[in-house]
Amino acid sequence: MPIAAASLIIKNASQLVTLHDHKKLGPKHGAEMADLNIIKNGAVAISGRRIVAVGESNKILKQVKTTRKVRVIDAGKRVVTPGLVDPHTHPVFAGQRAAEFEQRIAGKTYMEIAAAGGGIISTVAAVRKATKNALKDNGRKILDRMLTYGTTTIEAKSGYGLTTSGELKQLQAIKELNEEHEIDLVPTFLGAHEIPPEYKGSPDDYVALVCSEMIPKIADRNLAVFCDVFCEKGVFTPKQTRIILQTAQAYGLKIKLHADELSNTGGAELAAEFGAVSADHLVFVGEEGIHLMHKAGVIPVLLPGTTFFLGMERKAPARKMIEKGLAVAIGTDCNPGSSMTESMQIIMTLACLEYKMSPAEAISAATINAAFAIDKGNEVGSLAPGKFADLLIWDAEDYREIPYHFGGNMVESVYKKGIKVR
């Protein structure tokens, strides 16, 4: 008997990489990340914006109710996966920092460049001068590139205004881009990204501004889902971070955290204490931080493009986290200073090469786990009945070809909510 009506069927996938475990809901933890739940010669049936069935092609064609109006796409023995999810991005900014890239090549460190007036503060200056529409125009270009590379959902941070009006301007631009662009954007308030120059001598006063003015206005206007803080030496101390996170939770914002990127400041432990959805970077995370994140269910979002682009020798301990049973996710950290890439494909390659993750683990980290890292795992990140029909057809017959090819684009087609968009 037919189980559902379909408006679109994609059939004959050499490997339908569903990432859907019928026995459990949620992200893939530890060893589960190696299981992609592949259906050979698979098909996915879609009705409108959502998936109604997945399975072997011959079975789906018999089970799903079809009409003359149904479109049937032959994947031609190519791999089909969910759309990629990027759980850590800074895509709305002004200006560029190519000169800093050149300086790092010549031997300057990220912190030396920042101390000389570069780094985040240089982008802050550009964003403060830019109009909202200029931010949108640049952000749209970033999103267009992301979509071309197969990313269909992202988390999008503010953090380059560092004034109430500047943060509101960035978040309003993110909101409007979410309404206008094919990619879904999940907004994060990152007013605590850096201490602005005018508050360098009184960082506690800036923390007070974030808590007393920025967070209430952002919450009142419903401009952010998450609040994030850069908890790091020379930026926000654990004590300051705790004050900001307590305020954010009081106003109904969910928690993310830039944690242990350049040193071990106890960021992972703070993330666990606050029940954060994710803790990101984690290059210097310790054993206790890993243990507490696992206990609290915090998803580690690792950013191999950042350590690669900055030339850092130390890498986040991905293998240790997987062996401890955490649900590791990966993201681009797309931003103008420390990781100027829109491609989750090269991030998967770097996860394999730099972290020694298997291709299957990298794909799990870039889809289902990344989706749960932005609290969207019930809607996207796997191919399962009821979820949005965000999927990719790849120019590959085997999923391992995706990270194996690097520096190019293996995506043949992009579908967002059942509509072909690339």
Q: Is residue 77 part of a domain?
A: yes
Let me know if residue 377 belongs to a domain: no
How many residues are present in the chain? 422
Q: Is residue 378 part of a domain?
A: no
Phi, psi values for residue 245, rounded to 5°: -65, -40
Q: Specify whether the CB–CB gap between 251 and 215 falls below 8 A.
A: yes
121 with 236, same domain: the answer is yes
Q: Distance of CA 68 to CAs 1, 61, 65, 186, 313, Å?
A: 18, 14, 11, 37, 58
CATH assignment of the domain containing 113: 3.20.20.140
3-state secondary structure the chain: CCCEECCEEEEEEEEEECCCCCCCCCCCCHHHHHCCCEEEEEEEEEECCEEEEEEEHHHHHHHEECCCCCEEEECCCCEEEECEEECCECCCCCCCCHHHHHHHHCCCCHHHHHHCCCCHHHHHHHHHHCCHHHHHHHHHHHHHHHHHCCEEEEEEECCCCCCHHHHHHHHHHHHHHHHHCCCEEEEEEEEECCCCHHHCCCHHHHHHHHHHHHHHHHHHCCCCCEEEEEECCCCECHHHHHHHHHHHHHCCCEEEEEECCCCCCCHHHHHHHCCCCEEEECCCCCHHHHHHHHHHCCEEEECHHHHHHHCCCCCCCHHHHHHCCCCCEECCCEECCCECCCCHHHHHHHHHHHHCCCHHHHHHHHCHHHHHCCCCCCCCCCCCCCCECCEEEECCCCCCHHHHCCCCCCEEEEEECCEECC
Q: Is residue 163 part of a domain?
A: yes
Among 239, 273, 274, 236, residue whose Cα is nearest residue 255 = 274
Q: Which domain holds residue 408?
A: 4-82+383-420
- Identify the pLDDT of residue 1: 47
Q: What is the CATH number of the domain that holds 68?
A: 2.30.40.10
- With respect to residue 275, please indicate whether it lies within any of the assigned structural domains: yes
Query: Is the domain of 333 the same as that of 226?
Result: yes
Residues 174 and 300 in one domain: yes
Domain presence at residue 314: yes
Asked if residue 405 belongs to a domain, the reply is yes
Tokens of 187: 């907004």
Distance of CA 80 to the CA centre of its chain: 20
- Tell me, yes or no, whether 70 and 101 share the same domain: no
d(CA 317, CA 179): 37
pLDDT of residue 118: 83
One-letter identity of residue 189: F
Q: Does any domain span residue 158?
A: yes
> Tens place of pLDDT for every residue, the chain, 422 residues?
456 689 999 999 999 999 999 888 899 999 999 999 999 999 999 999 999 999 999 999 998 887 778 999 999 999 999 999 999 999 999 999 999 999 989 998 877 888 777 889 999 999 999 999 999 999 999 999 999 999 999 999 999 999 999 999 999 999 999 999 999 999 999 999 999 999 999 999 999 999 999 999 999 999 999 999 999 999 999 999 999 999 999 999 999 999 999 999 999 999 999 999 999 999 999 999 999 999 999 999 999 999 999 999 999 999 999 999 999 999 999 999 999 999 999 999 999 999 999 999 999 999 999 999 999 999 999 999 999 999 999 999 999 999 999 999 999 999 999 999 99
CA atoms of 9 and 394, how far apart (whole Å): 16
- Torsion-angle region of 391 (φ positive above 0: left; ψ -120 to 50: alpha; else: beta): beta
Look up residue 309 and give its two tokens.
């682009």
CA–CA distance, 127 with 120 (Å, rounded to integer): 11
Query: What's the pTM value of the predicted model, to 2 decimals?
Result: 0.97
